[in-house]
A and B are shown apart, each in its own frame.
Chain A
Amino acid sequence: MKKAAAWAILFLGVTYFVLPLIGMVEFSLSMRRGVYSFDAYAKVLADPQFRQTFSYSVFMALLTIVFGMFLVVPTAFWVRLKMPRMRPVVEFVTLLPLVIPAIVVVFGYIRLFNTSSWLPMTGSTFGTNMLLMFGYATLSLPYMYRAVDTGLRTIDVATLTEAAQSLGAGWFTVLARVILPNVLVAVLSGAFVTFAIVMGEFTMAALLNRPAFGPYLQLMGANKAYEPFALATIAFVITWACMGLIQLVTRFSKHTKAAR
């Protein structure tokens, strides 16, 4: 009885999650009347705007990941090693982006860094790109910090640092050659979440007027019939791939640890 109810609940839930995905894929394949075809995908892939916005977003995502890594790893390391009393504060701050809606943050950017302000970042293309990258870094901060901090928890930071220092390592060597390799898996899973977030982000890019993938998706949705669904399928595959890769790296790391 109980087991049957559990199966029923699970079945209903899975149906709810699978139907929209089927609907999306089905629509994306039905551009040609009567038969399934990849016409919509071909159309999308041939669109120069798709290539531009897609590669722009990929580039921004990679930039955000590199910046986030340089920001988060030393900070989390330093907090663990030297300033454990600051941990609750730093942790609280890193969770703020979940509280403050992205649209509010970017609204603040537009007002704070406009052309007549003390730091006119929105005045140039380069400045706006940097601002968008900082915005993405803020959005991914909760995930990145938590991932790295969890990674640091599993290793003995203080001992490793002292051991490295007594062998003559400077701070850079300690971070780059001792700490980073040990938390690489955590950094990677943070990086994949960041990648998924940046690829799908709409609000910030749209309000800062940058040619990213999210605004392009929305534009296509308003103007085309079948292409948006092909694009949505592509976006879903990207998210799925990122999460799958996280699982893969985590499993891989467990494996190497067990083998030792």
Chain B
Amino acid sequence: MSETQLPPPRRRINLNWLGLVPFALFVGLFLIAPTMKIVIGAFQRADGSFTFENIAGLFTPSIIASYWISIKISVASSAIGCLVGFLMASAMVLGGLPNTIRSPLMTFSGVASNFAGVPLAFAFLATLGPLGLVTMFLKTQFGINLRAMGFNILSFWGLTITYLFFQIPLMILIITPALDGLKREWREAASCLGATGTQYWRMVALPILFPTILGTFALLFANAFGAVATAIALTGSSLNIVPIMLFAQIRGDVLGNPHLGYAMAFGMILVTGIANVIYIWLRMRSERWLK
């Protein structure tokens, strides 16, 4: 192993790849192989023969409905997350706020984007649940009954508002460096040419930031789509989104066909995979400008 560095040993058998064997072994065994097992299983009958039946089996009303509501929640929470995160980050970077705000806000974003799962669900139950802080406050102080108005934490909007707690910080963490990358010269050049503030944003800044924003949207989408724990702790099984259904299927084969479970999981990989391909592609495009 300890060969000398020069001269470059061109003719020798290159054994450098040996150093990557442990990593390749681990990733192959505990990441790639399990995923492939699911993907292949989605196209197999119980006896192992090839089939499209499982994929076709996804197109039943209940499963389509679960994908649809999952996609709706993911789109809503990532769209709002992008918007609010963008507004907060630009308020922080460009709004002329004191610099001391920045470090705590970024640290908090790091915490909040990692504070997902079961505890997050509890926090929102304590706030917007039937006996939650905000619910009771609105009821006793203003006579507003959220429940009577049709709001329920165990619903589409309830889940979306909860997901925003980790979506917004993630957006802030990703978009802040991009906003820092907006060069002052661009703004000055634009105003020299007579552009108003709105024109600068519409024709210079936003087109530059657009790939980053859209790419982050795709990342947030995948993030929400794969979230299991928050949804289960919040809604139990009252809201049939894909991760909850798959969880129940793995636990007890509720669909009555193990290979349909594979197909559902494959559908999840497909959706998050597409979202991430978009993210990576747009990220490469945005890095051209923000170097």
Residues of A in contact with B (beta carbons under 8 Å apart): 2-3, 5-7, 9-10, 13, 16-17, 19-24, 26-28, 71, 74-75, 78-79, 82-83, 86, 90, 93, 96-112, 134-135, 137-138, 141, 162, 165, 170-171, 193, 196-197, 200-203, 206-207, 214, 217-218, 221-222, 228-229, 231-232, 235-236, 239-240, 242-244, 246-247
B-side interface residues, number (CB < 8 Å): 78
Contacts A/B (CB < 8 Å), 5 sampled: A23-B127, A99-B272, A99-B276, A110-B250, A200-B115
Chain A residues near B16: list those with CB within 8 A. Answer: 78, 82-83
What A residues does B276 contact at CB under 8 A? 98-99
A202 CA / B162 CA spacing, docked (Å): 17
B95: contacting residue among A5, A102, A214, A231, CB under 8 A:
A5
Mark out the residues of chain B between 134 and 174 whose CB falls within 8 Å of any chain A CB in the assembled complex. 134, 164-165, 168
What's the least CB distance linking A90 to chain B, in Å? 7
Say yes or no: is B1 at the interface (Cβ < 8 Å to chain A). yes
From known contacts A19-B134, A24-B122, A98-B276, infer whether A214 and B164 are also in contact, taking CB-CB under 8 Å: no
B76 / chain A contacts, CB cutoff of 8 Å = none
Q: Are A244 and B107 in contact (CB under 8 A)?
A: yes
Contact between A20 and B123, CB atoms less than 8 A apart: yes
Q: Which residues of A contact B164 (CB under 8 A)?
A: 16
Tell me the chain B residues, 17-35 only, with Cβ under 8 Å from chain A.
17, 19-20, 22-23, 26-27, 29-31, 33-35
- In chain B, what residue has the closest Cβ to A230? B122
Whether B95 pairs with A200 at a CB distance below 8 angstroms is no
- Interface residue SS majority, chain B: helix
CA of A170 to CA of B34 in the docked complex: distance in angstroms?
36
Cβ A83 vs Cβ B20 within 8 A? yes
Q: How far is the CA of A100 from the CA of B94 in the complex (A)?
A: 36
Total cross-chain contacts (CB, 8 A): 245
Q: A6-B95, A24-B122, A221-B121 are in contact. List 6 more A-B contacts (CB 8 A).
A: A19-B133, A20-B127, A104-B269, A105-B34, A202-B117, A229-B126
How far in angstroms is the closest Cβ of chain A from B196? 14
Q: Which of B5, B88, B123 is A23 in contact with, Cβ under 8 Å?
A: B123
| Contact of A99 (CB < 8 Å), options: B30, B134, B222, B236 | B222
A236–B115 CB distance below 8 A: yes
**Cross-interface CB contact of B118 among A20, A107, A200, A246, cutoff 8 Å:** A200
Q: In the complex, A2 Cα to B107 Cα: how many Å?
A: 25
Which residue, A103, A104, A110, A193, has most C-beta atoms of chain B within 10 A?
A: A104
